[in-house]
Amino acid sequence: MILTEVITFLALFVLSTSPSLAQAKDGGHVSLLVSETGLELAKDFLIHKMISTTLPLQLPEIEKKVKIPLIGKVRMGLSNIKIYAVDVHSSRVETGGDGIVLSVSGATADVSMDWSYAYKASFFHIADHGVASVKVKGMDLRSSVSLVGENGSLKIASRDSDCKVKSIGIHINGGASWLYQGVVDAFEKKIISTVEETVSNKILEKMKKLDAKLQSLPKEGKIDDDVAVNLTFTGSPVLDDSSVEVGINGLFMANGDGGKKVSGSISSFSTPRVKRMVGISIEEEVFNSATLVYFIAKRMHVDIQETKNGSTLSTSDWKLILPELYKQYPNVKMMLNMTVTSPPAVNIRKNGIDAIIDLEISIDVQNSGAVLSVARISVVLDVGGTAEIAENNLAGSLRLKGFNATMTWSKLGDLQANYIQDVVSTILESLFLPYVNTRLKRGFPLPFTHGFKIKNTEIVYVENGVMVCSDVAFG
């Protein structure tokens, strides 16, 4: 039934999208919050969608012997009973404590069915059949569920499910006048109770299926062959009178670690009030876990043999910047091997993102078919970062704020400090940062169910974290 599908969707929507993060996460590093406007959008959309996709709803057959004045006992039956249309006039979603309550009031429904009767006397037998329609009026539905965290998963339990029908109107096509009154007298209460019971049972059935689905959700999300994200839930959802918030571990880890997090300290920050439908809070620890895992996987290394416009790197391009290199190896191909030597440290403050990167740059040349290393430079980069949204991904970019470079080894003789600074500045600005930013702009997926698009996104920096606030559209 419609109510069942809406509750199912709301639970999944909350688990895939105001109190502070410290309240909700209970050790989690990512908080997903659906505000009052987000819940209203989800409810209204699903009511419309489910009406068009879940009907008709089949009801069980009804049969009864009815005593008709002047005629006697007549066996009557209703079959092929279907609810084929529902019109919802008013609906409401309420949150609080540990549960979600969804109610629909004043709904109407259209029911079609086949009727038949048979009367057997001593000397004759009478039977007939036809079709009938029923207008269900004043249908009120209410269902409440609990969401409880358990062993990294969420359990859902139906606490209460109720459906009440105020009245129905029956229209018989064909048959005698006594038949109409007989059907009304015999089946009015039974039709009402059948609708109420069928809808209530359907809700309970769906809740059990939804609970099984929640238990089967993966504990980790694969990013690539080496890296995954820990998706275990932390604690129970926090529900107040206008929002639902759930925390997940959210830390990056080696792919296949089965939910074991990378070691590190846990930071915390207060989440600003959400003015959009959905708010996603991400601690700086998530970013630091990503840099650590990619560093351990030896993924922070790049060999560059071409400029950003696609031409081959050559010592002739460097004769003004590093003349000694051109003097010793004129017009030969060169390569830059750049390796991050320790996990970059990410710090998030109210004015943005900062990071310190320890980088080793090796300058190689191709001479007579052999690759020779001619210099090695140790660099400490101070970079600023900006978070961005690319479709449904959280992306970003880096900009250079400053650096400190030291020549650690060289076949080019003693180089002046200004040469070293010019060389490193050129490498960082024209090669290293463009390469890194190309990959950062791909981003990482935000936890939105398929079919959702985010819009009107606002990124807020707070102490030790980032919050992505967004409205949601379907399609």
Residue 330: asked if its preceding bond is cis (omega within 30°), the reply is no
pTM passes above 0.85: no
Task: Dig out the tokens for 135 from the structure.
Answer: 């207008």
How far is 372 from 398, CA to CA, in rounded Å? 31
- Confidence at residue 428, expressed as pLDDT on a 0 to 100 scale: 92
- Confidence at residue 91, expressed as pLDDT on a 0 to 100 scale: 86
Task: Dig out the tokens for 223 from the structure.
Answer: 């990013």
Domain with CATH 3.15.20.10 in the chain: 267-474
Can you give the three-state secondary structure of the chain, one letter per residue?
CHHHHHHHHHHHHHHHCCCCHHHHHCCCCEEEEECHHHHHHHHHHHHHHHHHHHCCEEECCEEEEEEECCCEEEEEEEEEEEEEEEECCEEEEEEEECEEEEEEEEEEEEEEEEEEEEEECCCCEEEEEEEEEEEEEEEEEEEEEEEEEECCEEEEEEEEEEEEEEEEEEEEECCCHHHHHHHHHHHHHHHHHHHHHHHHHHHHHHHHHHHHHHHCCCCEEECCCCEEEECCECCCCEECCCCEEEEECCCEEECCCCCCCCCCCCCCCCCCCCCCCEEEEEEHHHHHHHHHHHHHCCCCEEEECECCCCCECEHHHHCCCCHHHHHHCCCCEEEEEEEECCCCEEEEECCEEEEEEEEEEEEEEEECCEEEEEEEEEEEEEEEEEEEEECCEEEEEEEEEEEEEEEEEECCCCCCHHHHHHHHHHHHHHHHHHHHHHHHCCCEECCCCCCEEEEEEEEEEECCEEEEEEEEEEC
- Confidence at residue 362, expressed as pLDDT on a 0 to 100 scale: 93
- Confidence at residue 19, expressed as pLDDT on a 0 to 100 scale: 33
How far is 230 from 225, CA to CA, in rounded Å? 15
How far is 91 from 142, CA to CA, in rounded Å? 10
- Confidence at residue 119, expressed as pLDDT on a 0 to 100 scale: 74
Per-residue pLDDT of the chain in tens (475 residues, 90 and over written 9) = 433 333 344 444 444 343 333 333 445 688 888 888 887 877 777 667 667 766 788 888 888 777 666 566 777 888 998 888 888 888 888 877 667 888 888 888 898 988 887 777 666 677 778 888 889 998 888 888 787 877 787 787 777 778 888 988 888 776 554 566 666 667 788 888 888 888 777 777 777 777 887 788 788 888 888 888 888 888 778 877 777 788 888 888 887 665 444 433 334 444 455 578 888 888 999 999 999 999 999 999 989 888 777 788 888 888 888 888 888 989 889 899 999 999 999 999 988 999 999 999 999 998 877 888 889 999 999 999 998 888 778 888 999 999 999 989 888 877 777 778 888 998 999 889 998 998 888 887 776 655 667 788 888 898 888 888 888 776 5
Q: By C-alpha distance, which of 405, 404, 406, 386 is closest to 396?
A: 386
Report whether 377 contacts 360 (CB < 8 A).
yes
Which of 3.40.50.12280, 1.10.10.10, 3.15.10.10, 3.40.190.10 would CATH assign to domain 37-216? 3.15.10.10
How far is 417 from 434, CA to CA, in rounded Å? 25
- Confidence at residue 80, expressed as pLDDT on a 0 to 100 scale: 92
- Confidence at residue 451, expressed as pLDDT on a 0 to 100 scale: 63
- Confidence at residue 312, expressed as pLDDT on a 0 to 100 scale: 83
CATH number of the domain at 267-474, please? 3.15.20.10
- Confidence at residue 186, expressed as pLDDT on a 0 to 100 scale: 72
- Confidence at residue 68, expressed as pLDDT on a 0 to 100 scale: 64
Domain with CATH 3.15.10.10 in the chain: 37-216
- Confidence at residue 268, expressed as pLDDT on a 0 to 100 scale: 47
- Confidence at residue 418, expressed as pLDDT on a 0 to 100 scale: 74
